[in-house]
Amino acid sequence: MKQQAFLDKINPVKDKMYRLALRMLISKEAAEDATQEVIFKLWARKDKIKDYTNVEAFAMTTTKNYCLDELKAKKNNNLRIVHQNYENNSISLQKGLEVKDEMHWIEKIVSQLPEQQKIVFQLRDIEQLEFEEIIEITKMKPTAIRVALSRARKKIRESLTNKHNYGITKN
C-alpha cells in the first residue's frame, strides 16, 4: 500500500482515535503523541490492514490498547499525566459561563470513571458507534458493554444532580 492510500484510509478515523486517546490519557499532548504513535504502528503493519475489512475498528482497538499500556507504564513509574487543556471554544456565548462550567464538571466526572466505562461511554455516547462496532473494538461481551454504559451514564447524572443540590439551595 502506498503512503497516500494509507493516509486516505486513516484520516477519517484520526480524530476518533485522538478523542479516545484524549479521553483515556486526558492530556492533549499525550493524546496527540499516542495517535501519532498508533498511526506509525498501523503503517508498519500496513500489509495486515489489507486483510482487515474494518480498518476503523482495528485502528480504534490499537489506540485503546496503546493507551492502556501507556497508562500502565505511567502508573508503574509513579508518574501522573499532567494536562492543562481546559478550554472551551465551541459553545456559543449566549449559553454562557454556566454551561461551560457544567462541561468541565462532566469532564471531571468522566475522568474519574473506571477505564472500561470511560471507553464504552466514549465510543457510544461521543462517537455514536453501533454496539457491534464497540464489541469489535473492545472485545467485550454485549451485556458487559451495556452494564458499563448504564453505570457510566447513571454515575455522570448522579454527580450532576448532587452538584446542583449543593450549588443551588432549594428549600
- Kindly tell me which residue out of 9, 14, 41, 74 binds other proteins, with binding defined by CB under 8 A: 14
Q: Does 74 bind other proteins (CB under 8 A)?
A: no
CA 31 – CA 23 distance, rounded (Å): 8
Q: Does 132 bind other proteins (CB under 8 A)?
A: no
Q: Does 119 bind other proteins (CB under 8 A)?
A: no
CB of 131 to other proteins, least distance (A): 9
Q: Does 125 bind other proteins (CB under 8 A)?
A: yes
CB of 51 to other proteins, least distance (A): 21
Q: Which three cell numbers stand for residue 147?
A: 452494564
Q: Does 135 bind other proteins (CB under 8 A)?
A: no
Q: How far from 46 is each of 64, 70, 93, 164, CA to CA, in Å?
A: 18, 22, 45, 50
Give the residue with the Cβ less far from other proteins, 55 or 147.
147
Closest-CA residue to 67 (of 110, 118, 7): 118
- Kindly tell me which residue out of 24, 25, 113, 145 binds other proteins, with binding defined by CB under 8 A: 145
CB of 72 to other proteins, least distance (A): 23
Burial class (CB in 10 A: 0-12, 13-18, 19+), 81: middle
- Kindly tell me which residue out of 18, 60, 62, 123 binds other proteins, with binding defined by CB under 8 A: 18
CB of 80 to other proteins, least distance (A): 22
Q: Does 91 bind other proteins (CB under 8 A)?
A: yes
Closest-CA residue to 85 (of 163, 30, 14): 30
Q: Does 5 bind other proteins (CB under 8 A)?
A: no
CA 169 – CA 107 distance, rounded (Å): 24
